[in-house]
Structure 1
């Protein structure tokens, strides 16, 4: 079962400020306790301004290690790639060592990229828990590239990284961390701007088995949501 803590904000800018603050706080705690901060980034449009706000954060960038929850199978510089968005909005502007930024090699195709990224994630302190996982929510309830009605939902076991061959949104070929691997985290925060997502949010609140509900870390999940469609 997923334990959920809902945090509602009056507007998108309030949500973004709170999210940036929560990320920096998580980093400070991880660096103080373990000497490093391992974060999984969300893609899409909602986190972009959060990433921009992090440019001016006061933190030890040399201790940050960046991973991605999913990626589109497109060339590395394609602006639709999650890694390209995060780089232009934030990562290119701060002093995180390049060897500590781990994009998904989705340009290799879904199967090969999933295999390679599973190896990459396994090398992270022996495949230990992430410190923080950021996720979004789609209008159909998907998170990362875990879409409803696909084979992963009925699989008994899943690898840590999944090859997605037929996503209902373009491009159809993608790579995604599995629900189990995303759940191996000390903290999980969903960033949800409410426009167009009211039905998915209603189903989630009512306990419907949408893909986002499959992320079940031991500590539960925090959901930062701006429910107003006009913000």
Structure 2
């Protein structure tokens, strides 16, 4: 039986941010020891704001980072819906000294072309002359919607059945804007480490399902089951109240 994900619950947002920062530093150092680069994929939503403690952590080596996007809305990069724009405003613009390498989409392309173009970027970074089935990110940082979606992988959507592509396009996102690209489920599940950040009572019912019964119908549940002990959850008390097996579950910080 595969080992289970770790679920942390924090009494305050400040404690969550500090613990997440420590976790990211550990993932960074493991990656740098392996291949002298830290390849991380980031989603949007409320997640970027949770990364602010990285700015005051002296162990972060920004010059070794390559940042990709776990999903992106096909809008201009300075649009309010752009995940890149959000990360730029809350994190990237505040980094002093050498900035990380950041791989953005080409928003001028149609969705299918945009996905293909972004996949080519991944191939150049991860394959580099070698044939690999899927890229292996050192870390993927993800949020979770109240409906159980993550990246731009939505419950019941046909993209959940994709088995070969690294990046896929979606033109009918249930949540606006409708046109997006996203890492596919196999790519997410191949990552060395995956961190979910979920806070607030709106995430409570989803977490109960993810750690209870019916997880297989939710994208977040498919990641939780597929990646096992490579998944770590950073949540607050409101999100974890009544979650099966918690707070006895390893990692409680509340």
- TM-score in terms of structure 1 length: 0.89
Aligned to 1:33: 34
1:96 and 1:39 map into 2 onto residues whose CA distance is 17
Aligned to 1:137: 144
**Which stretch of structure 1 is more off in the superposition, 78-87 or 12-21?**
12-21
Aligned to 2:114: 113
Q: 1:152 to 1:135 in 2, by over 3 A?
A: same
SS at match of 1:123: helix
- Are 2:201 and 1:167 aligned? no
- Are 2:154 and 1:147 aligned? yes
Aligned to 2:43: 42
Deviations, residues 116-154 of structure 1 (Å, cap 9, x unaligned): 11111111231641111111110000001101121123x
Looking at CA atoms only, which structure, 1 or 2, has the larger radius of gyration?
A: 2
Deviations, residues 165-189 of structure 1 (Å, cap 9, x unaligned): 1111111111100011112211111
* Alignment RMSD: 2.1
Aligned to 1:82: 83
Aligned to 2:56: 56
Aligned to 1:185: 191
1:218 CA drift (Å): 6.6
1:96 and 1:160 map into 2 onto residues whose CA distance is 29
SS at match of 1:168: coil
Q: 1:156 to 1:73 in 2, by over 3 A?
A: closer
Q: Is the 8 A contact 1:106 1:175 kept in 2?
A: no
1:178 and 1:170 map into 2 onto residues whose CA distance is 19
1:228 CA drift (Å): 1.3
Q: 1:21 to 1:156 in 2, by over 3 A?
A: closer
- TM-score in terms of structure 2 length: 0.82
1:197 CA drift (Å): 1.4
Q: 1:50 to 1:179 in 2, by over 3 A?
A: same
1:53 CA drift (Å): 2.0
Structure 2, unmatched stretches of 5+, are 240-254
